[in-house]
Structure 1
Amino acid sequence: MSAETAPARRSTAAPARSRLRALVDTPEVGVVLACVAVFAALALARDTFASAVNLQGMGADLAQYGLIAIGESLVILTGGIDLSVGALLGTSVILMSWFNVRAGLPAGLAVLATLGIAGLVGLLHGLAVTRLRMPPFVVTLVTYTVAQGVTLAITSGTSIVGISPFFGDVGQSYLAQVPVPLVLFAVVTAAAWFFLERTYAGRQVYAVGGNPEAARLAGIRGDRRVVSMYVTSSLVSAFAGMLVLGRMGVGSASGVGVGWELSAIAAAVIGGVSLTGGQGRVLGIVAGAVLLELINNGLTTLQINSNYTDIVLGCVLGLAITADRLRARRVARRS
C-alpha cells in the first residue's frame, strides 16, 4: 500500500508546491500584504486613522491618484511613459471651470469639451510616438510644460469661482457612506480589468509591450494599441480632474496635479507593472495606489512634517524599481 500511495502523494504535492511558488512570485501578493501591515500599524498608532471620516477622505484621495495611476499604467504596459498626466489633470480643472463659468457652457458640455481636448492631446502623443518615433519621455515632457503654461495663462494667477453645483455633487457626495469618487474609481478599475484580462485587444496591449517585433509578426496592429492607450491615459486624467474640481469647488491652478505623475508611476511600479512594458495587472496597480495613500495619509495623521512625504515616496519608488529589476532578472534566469 505504501509503495502505491507514495507516487500519488508526490503527484498531488507537486502541483501544490507549484501553486505556492506561483503565488509567492506574484507581485500583487507582496503589495497587498504591505497594505494590510501598514494599515494595521497606523490604526494601532492613532485611533483617528481608522475613523469613518478619515477613511472617507482617504477613499476620495485614492480615487484621484488611482485614476491617473491606471491611465499611466496602460501606457507603461505598451513600453511607453506619460509624464503629462498630472499637468493635464491640473489643466483639465481649469478648462472645465473656464468653459462652465466664462464660456457659459452647461457643466455636462464643459466636461465633454475638456475630455475632447484631452483626447486630442493623447492622440498627438500616440502619433508622435508611433509615426514620428519620438521618445515618449520627450513627447509627454513637452505636454507637461505646455499644460502648466496654459493653466497659468488662463487663470493669470487667480481662481475661477462660481462653478456649477454639478461638480460638487460628483466630487463631494456619498453613496451609502461611500464617496462617489471612490465608486467611480471602482467602475473605471473594473472596466480596465475587463479590458486587459478578458478582451483580445487587451491581450494585444501586453503583446505589444512585451515584444513589439513578435507582435508585429503575429499580425497585431501595434501602433493602434499604443495610440489608444495614450488617448485613454489623457482621458482618464481629465476625468480625474473633474473629481478634483468637485472637491475644490473652484478652478485653481495652485499646485493641482503638480508631481502627481510621480505618484502614478510609483503606484504602477509598486503594483508590479514593469517599466519595460508587457507585465502588470490592475489588481497590483490598485494595491500600489492604496499603499501610497496609506503612507501619505499616515504621515499626516502622525503629524510628521509634510516635507518628508516626498522623501518617503522617493524611497518607496526606488525600492519598487529595484524589486522590479530583480524580479525581471530572476524570471530571465528561470526561462
Structure 2
Amino acid sequence: MPHLPEDTMTAVDARPPAPRPALLLTQYSALLALLALIALNALTTPNFLTLTALNINMTQTATILIVAVGMTYVIATGGIDLSVGSIMAISGALAPLLFLQSGLPAGIGIPLAVILPVLAAGLCGAFNGLLVTRFRIQPIIATLVLFIAGRGIAQVISGGQLINFPDARFKFLGSSVVFGLNIQVVLMLVIVAAAIWALRATLFGRYVIAVGGNPEAARLAGVPVTRTKVLVYTLSGMLAGLAGLITIAVNNSSDANLVGQNMELDAIAAVAVGGTALSGGKVSLVGTLIGALFIQLLRYTLLVKGVPDAAALIVKAAIIVGAVALQARRRS
C-alpha cells in the first residue's frame, strides 16, 4: 500500500510498507501536477507571481473548495452529490427575496438573508440523504432529482429574472477583508480546518469512514449508518448554500441560470484529483484542497491562454477520468 498523507483516513488501519518511487509519483500526482502548473504560469504568464494574481486565484478557489469539502464527506460514505450547483442557485435566489422583499429592519433582514438560505440548502441536502437511505435510491439518481428540479425551483423563486442588489450590508460576504485576506478565503480555510478536525477527532468522522468502507459491517458494529449518510448530505447542502451566497455577494446580483453552474463537476474533480476514493472508505481533505487549487489554477491557465470554455469542460472531464485511473492503480 502507498504511504497515506497525514490527514488521510481509511477504513483499514494498517502500517503501510515504504512505497516504491513509482508509487510515490502516483500517490502525490495531484501535488506534482499543481506545482507543475504553478511553474508553467510563473514562466509564461506575466504578473502571475504577484499578490493580486494570488488573491484572485485564492478567491476563485474558495467557492470550489467549500463545496468540495461537503462533496468529500459524501463521497467518503460511498455516495455522490450532483445537486450542489442547483442548491447553490436555490440559496442564491432565496437571499435577495428575503433581503429585498421582507420589509424587515436591516439588523434582522441581513442575518435572515444569510441564515435561512443556508438552512434551506441543508434541507435540500437532507432530502437527498432521505432518498438515498429511506427509499434506497442510488445516490447518482437521488441527487439527479434536485440537479434537474433545483434550478427550476430557483428560477421560480427569482421569477426567472436577474436580481441586482448591490447593497454594502450584504456585500460583506464577497468584499470584506480579514487579516489582509478576502472573507471568502478566510471562510474557506476555517471550513477546511474544521472538516479535517471533525474527520480525525470526532466520532462522526469515524462513522463516515466506517460507512464508506463497509456499510453493512458498520451497521453490525452499531454505527448509525442511515443517520450518518443523511448528515453528510445535509452538510453538503449547507456548504453549497453558503457558496451560493458568496457567489451572489461577489457578483452583486443573483441569476438562477448561472449561480453554481457546473459546480458539481468542479467539486467532484477536486475530490477525485485529491485522492479521495470515489468508492468510499478513504478520504483526504488536504488532497481536496490541493485538487481545488489545481482545478482553479487550470481554469486560470486556460483562460489566460485563450482556451474556450467548452474545451475547458472537456479538460476537466479528462482530469476526472485520469484521477479515477490513478486511484485504480493505487489500489492495485
Q: TM-score, normalised by structure 1?
A: 0.88
Q: Counterpart in 1 of 2:196?
A: 193
Q: Match for 1:40: what amino acid? A: A
Structure-1 separation of matches of 2:138 and 2:257: 30
Structure-2 separation of matches of 1:161 and 1:53: 27
Identify the match of residue 231 of structure 1 among 229, 234, 239: 234
Structure-1 separation of matches of 2:72 and 2:17: 29
Q: Counterpart in 2 of 1:280?
A: 283
Q: Counterpart in 2 of 1:35?
A: 34
How far did residue 61 of structure 1 move?
0.8
Q: 1:97 touches 1:163 (CA, 8 Å); kept in 2?
A: no
Q: Counterpart in 1 of 2:317?
A: 314
Note if 1:221 corresponds to 2:220: no
Structure-2 separation of matches of 1:223 and 1:23: 39
Structure-1 separation of matches of 2:302 and 2:147: 28
Note if 1:259 corresponds to 2:262: yes
Aligned length: 313
How far did residue 24 of structure 1 move?
4.6
What's the CA shift string for 1:270-297, capped at 9, x where partnerless? 1111111111210001111111111000
Q: 2:27 touches 2:330 (CA, 8 Å); kept in 1?
A: no
Aligned to 2:164, the other structure's residue is in SS state coil
Structure-2 separation of matches of 1:200 and 1:211: 16
Identical-residue share of aligned pairs (%): 33
Structure showing greater radius of gyration is 1
1:1-335 equivalences in 2 (<5 Å): 18-19=17-18, 21=20, 24=23, 29-105=28-104, 106-162=109-165, 164-328=167-331, 330=332
Q: 2:151 touches 2:257 (CA, 8 Å); kept in 1?
A: no
What's the CA shift string for 1:230-279, capped at 9, x where partnerless? 00000000011111111011122242211110111111011111111111
Structure-2 separation of matches of 1:69 and 1:88: 14
Structure-2 separation of matches of 1:104 and 1:23: 63
Q: Match for 2:135: what amino acid? A: L
Structure 2 residue runs of 5 or longer lacking an equivalent are: 1-15
Q: Which has the higher helix share?
A: 1
How far did residue 163 of structure 1 move?
5.3
Q: Which moved more, 1:247-256 or 1:281-290?
A: 247-256
Aligned to 2:256, the other structure's residue is in SS state coil
What's the CA shift string for 1:43-97, capped at 9, x where partnerless? 1111222222221111111001111111111111111111100111122111111
Structure 1 residue runs of 5 or longer lacking an equivalent are: 1-16, 331-335
Q: Match for 2:300: what amino acid? A: N
Structure-2 separation of matches of 1:170 and 1:110: 11
Structure-2 separation of matches of 1:288 and 1:172: 25
Structure-2 separation of matches of 1:101 and 1:119: 22
Structure-2 separation of matches of 1:230 and 1:73: 10
Q: 2:87 touches 2:240 (CA, 8 Å); kept in 1?
A: yes
Q: Match for 2:112: what amino acid? A: L
Q: Which moved more, 1:96-105 or 1:267-276?
A: 96-105
Structure-2 separation of matches of 1:64 and 1:140: 20
Q: Match for 1:225: what amino acid? A: T
**CA distance change for structure 1 residues 23 and 119 in 2, over 3 Å: closer, same or farther?**
farther
Structure-1 separation of matches of 2:116 and 2:323: 37
Structure-2 separation of matches of 1:61 and 1:157: 26
How far did residue 167 of structure 1 move?
2.8
Aligned to 2:79, the other structure's residue is in SS state coil
Structure-1 separation of matches of 2:18 and 2:190: 30
How far did residue 182 of structure 1 move?
0.8
Q: Counterpart in 2 of 1:333?
A: none
Q: 1:107 touches 1:164 (CA, 8 Å); kept in 2?
A: no
Structure-2 separation of matches of 1:264 and 1:288: 9
Structure-1 separation of matches of 2:76 and 2:311: 30
How far did residue 25 of structure 1 move?
5.0
Q: Match for 2:44: what amino acid? A: A
Q: 2:122 touches 2:238 (CA, 8 Å); kept in 1?
A: yes
Structure-1 separation of matches of 2:125 and 2:316: 27
**CA distance change for structure 1 residues 28 and 159 in 2, over 3 Å: closer, same or farther?**
farther
